[in-house]
């Protein structure tokens, strides 16, 4: 039975690849053009304007009715959807916790939805539960991975639900958001969000160019004793690698958001000048810890805790909320190059991406441990 399913999945994947011949145009290099992401056709009898969306695997997605039911696959897609179309979500790609409630206006409804996690390639997918949502689309976003064609085909075969993939990474979140807006018919909102992302990212690049070779040496530590680190090779390290020299160069590092275990001897060898602690780690007591207090960053008060509500600003999920860290970290590490008001920028993000207006009290609570004492 497993062999039959795999054969079906492979055939479906092949047919999806073949459909590329009919979608979009090709440039001089023979690559698929992204100019025709959406192509409209004649409206239906009820006035709906059908359209064809071309995803980042090159698949033509025929949208023949108004979209009202979407399931995100994974945290990244969910973070994007919370900003553009939370009203369309009928399932969860990431768990919601109580600390998110004040930052997500539709929390009461959303928190009651079924959690599916990462749908594409899921080892144990509750097909019946997913089908019961009446979802029209499953949307996955992130890096293009080897085997995605087969995973997409398998998920579609098992669920009967169309799967869409949009590539999203640190340097193209703006474009990814625009594509999501085109797919969902929320172009105006998506454009606002995309413009914010691109302005913040470009400004961060400009600041780091001015910093040049004077980047500080640091690590991102998490876990009960702060003895897990985000390795330089992990996708979750993109922001910290950009803003400081990530000393956690680890051979065969895990890609998990929980980081890679190390011992205190290794941290002492690195002796970072700056440490970010993950929420729930040992930030509050680290100065009294006999071993940690010998580390340069701790001894000199150059350590902070990453804000984490409703999502961690710095590492995971690897979505657009990490642009907050591109504002926050340069402002504390290289303030001479930062001419913006951090609170204003953060408040604008929460308004655009979560639909909430931060009070001064909320901002103070979010950033309580985000600055040097």
Is residue 173 one of the residues assigned to a domain?
yes
Neighbours of 254 (CB within 10 A): 15
Residues 100 and 176 both lie in one domain: yes
Q: What is the pLDDT of residue 100?
A: 94
Shared domain check, 237 and 92: no
Distances from the Cα of 77 to the Cα of 71, 101, 314, angstroms: 9, 19, 17
Residue 191 maps to a domain: yes
Q: Are residues 55 and 114 in the same domain?
A: yes
Question: Is 372 contained in some domain?
Answer: no
For the beta carbon of residue 263, count every other beta carbon within 10 angstroms: 11
Cα separation, 202 vs 175, whole angstroms: 13
Which of 197, 217, 242 is the last residue before a domain boundary?
Answer: 197
In a domain, 64, yes or no: yes
Q: What is the pLDDT along the chain (373 residues), one digit of tens a residue?
A: 433 334 444 444 444 443 333 333 333 333 333 444 666 656 665 678 999 999 999 999 999 999 999 999 999 999 999 999 999 999 999 999 998 999 999 999 999 999 998 877 666 778 888 888 999 999 999 988 777 788 888 888 888 999 999 999 999 999 999 999 999 999 999 999 999 999 999 999 999 999 999 999 999 999 989 999 999 999 899 999 999 999 999 988 887 778 899 999 999 999 999 999 999 899 999 999 999 999 999 999 999 999 999 999 999 888 999 999 999 999 999 999 999 999 999 999 999 999 999 999 999 999 999 999 8
Residue 209 lies in domain: 202-366
191, two tokens: 């454009």
Residue 292 located in a structural domain: yes
Residues 6+ apart with CB under 8 A from 212: none
Within the chain, residue ranges assigned H as helices are: 2-18, 75-84, 107-110, 127-132, 148-159, 173-184, 187-211, 238-243, 264-270, 296-299, 323-333, 342-354, 360-366
Whether residues 101 and 211 fall in one domain: no
User: For helices 173-184 and 75-84, what crossing angle results, to 10°?
Assistant: 60
- pLDDT at position 130 is 87
Does residue 82 form part of some domain?
A: yes
- Do 186 and 219 belong to one domain? no
The partner residues of 304 in beta bridges, in order of sequence, read 276
274/335 same-domain check? yes
Q: Report the CATH number that the domain containing residue 359 is assigned in CATH.
A: 3.40.50.1980
Q: According to the model, what pLDDT value does residue 148 have? A: 79
- Verify that 315 and 255 share a domain, yes or no: yes
Domain boundary among 173, 197, 221: 197
Asked if residue 282 and residue 177 are part of one domain, the reply reads: no
Total count of domains within the chain: 2
Domain boundary among 155, 170, 197: 197
**Is 373 among the domain residues?**
no
How far, rounded to the nearest angstrom, does the alpha carbon of residue 81 sit from its chain's CA centroid? 11
Tokens of 365: 């609570």
Q: Are residues 55 and 175 in the same domain?
A: yes
Domain identity same for 141 and 226: no
Task: Check residue 153 and give its pLDDT.
Answer: 83
- Asked if 110 and 320 touch (Cβ cutoff 8 Å), the reply is no
């Amino acid at each position: 039975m497993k062999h039959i399913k795999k054969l079906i999945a492979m055939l479906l994947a092949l047919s999806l690849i073949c459909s590329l011949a009919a979608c979009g145009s090709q440039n001089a290099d023979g690559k698929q053009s992204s100019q025709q992401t959406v192509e409209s056709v004649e409206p239906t009898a009820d006035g709906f304007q059908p359209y064809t969306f071309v995803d980042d695997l090159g698949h033509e997605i025929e949208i023949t009715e108004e979209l009202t039911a979407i399931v995100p696959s994974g945290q990244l897609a969910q973070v994007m959807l919370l900003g553009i179309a939370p009203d369309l979500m009928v399932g969860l790609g990431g768990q919601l916790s109580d600390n998110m409630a004040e930052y997500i206006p539709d929390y009461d409804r959303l928190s009651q939805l079924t959690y599916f996690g990462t749908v594409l390639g899921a080892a144990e997918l509750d097909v019946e539960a997913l089908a019961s949502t009446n979802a029209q689309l499953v949307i996955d976003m992130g890096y293009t991975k080897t085997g995605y064609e087969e995973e997409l085909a398998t998920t579609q075969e098992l669920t009967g639900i169309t799967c869409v993939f949009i590539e999203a990474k640190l340097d193209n979140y703006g474009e990814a958001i625009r594509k999501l807006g085109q797919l969902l018919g929320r172009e105006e909102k998506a454009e606002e969000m995309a413009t914010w992302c691109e302005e913040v990212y470009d400004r961060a690049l400009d600041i780091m160019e001015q910093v040049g070779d004077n980047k500080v040496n640091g690590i991102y530590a998490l876990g009960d004793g702060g003895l897990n680190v985000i390795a330089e090779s992990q996708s979750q390290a993109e922001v910290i690698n950009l803003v400081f020299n990530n000393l956690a160069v680890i051979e065969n590092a895990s890609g998990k958001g929980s980081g890679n275990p190390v011992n205190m001897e290794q941290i002492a060898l690195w002796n970072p000048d700056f440490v970010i602690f993950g929420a729930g780690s040992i930030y509050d007591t680290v100065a009294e810890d006999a071993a940690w207090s010998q580390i340069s960053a701790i001894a000199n008060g150059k350590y902070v805790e990453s804000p984490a509500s409703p999502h961690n600003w710095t590492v995971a999920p690897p979505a657009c909320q990490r642009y907050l860290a591109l504002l926050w970290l340069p402002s504390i590490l290289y303030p001479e190059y930062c001419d913006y008001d951090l609170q204003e920028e953060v408040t604008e993000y929460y308004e655009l991406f979560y639909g909430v207006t931060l009070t001064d009290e909320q901002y103070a609570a979010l950033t309580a441990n985000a600055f040097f004492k």
